[in-house]
Amino acid sequence: MLKRHDDGNSHFPMLDTYMRMLNEYRRIMDGRDRAHFNRLDYLLSADELQQIRDARTHPSRRRAL
């Protein structure tokens, strides 16, 4: 049995994080040429996946490169 207010809480606020990642994905996809779009065009490169992963971190907490 879990104690009240312990680490078993699965209601951590993630919506902002997921929205930043979704917005980055959409930005990537919107930048692609859709004239001859096929199913393979949904594949993401390693750099694109990195960009989406980096979007997890709030901009105010990102390190300057």
The two three-digit tokens of residue 35, written as one number: 């004239």
47 occurs within a structural domain: yes
- Residue 61, pLDDT > 60, answer yes
Confidence of residue 8 (pLDDT cuts 50, 70, 90): low
20 occurs within a structural domain: yes
Judged by phi (left if over 0) then psi (alpha if -120 to 50, else beta), residue 5 lies in left
Q: What is the pLDDT of residues 18-47, one digit of tens each?
A: 999 999 999 999 998 777 778 888 899 999
6 occurs within a structural domain: no
Q: Which helix (DSSP H) or strand (DSSP E) does residue 30 occupy?
A: helix 15-30
- Residue 3, pLDDT > 70, answer no
33 occurs within a structural domain: no
Q: Which domain holds residue 20?
A: 13-24+42-56
48 occurs within a structural domain: yes
What is the 8-class DSSP label of residue 65? -
Domain count along the chain:
1
